[in-house]
Amino acid sequence: MSFNNLDNLYRQVIMDHYKNPRNHGSLSNGALTLEMNNPTCGDRIQLHLLIEDGIVNDVKFEGEGCSISLASASMMTQVIKGQEVETALKLSQYFSDMMLGKDVDPADLELGDIEALQGVAKFPARIKCATLAWKAMEKAVDQNEQP
Which residues make beta-bridge pairs with 79? none
pLDDT, tens digit (0-9, with 9 covering 90-100), for 4-33: 665 777 889 999 999 999 999 999 888 999
Residue 139 neighbours by CB under 8 Å, 6+ apart:
34, 36
Q: Across the chain, which distance is largest between two alpha carbons, in Å?
A: 51
Domain boundaries, the chain: 3-145
In angstroms, rounded to a whole number, what is the distance separating the alpha carbons of residues 89 and 39?
A: 24
What is the pTM assigned to this prediction? Answer: 0.92
pLDDT, tens digit (0-9, with 9 covering 90-100), for 67-120: 999 999 999 999 999 999 999 999 999 999 999 988 887 777 888 899 899 889
In angstroms, rounded to a whole number, what is the distance separating the alpha carbons of residues 131 and 104?
A: 16
In angstroms, rounded to a whole number, what is the distance separating the alpha carbons of residues 105 and 70?
A: 25
In angstroms, rounded to a whole number, what is the distance separating the alpha carbons of residues 75 and 30?
A: 23
pLDDT at 4: 62
Look at residue 11 and give its three-state secondary structure. Answer: helix
Domain 3-145 in CATH 3.90.1010.10: yes
pLDDT at 41: 87
In angstroms, rounded to a whole number, what is the distance separating the alpha carbons of residues 81 and 50?
A: 9
Mean pLDDT of 58-67: 96
Q: Does the pLDDT of residue 48 top 90, yes or no? A: yes
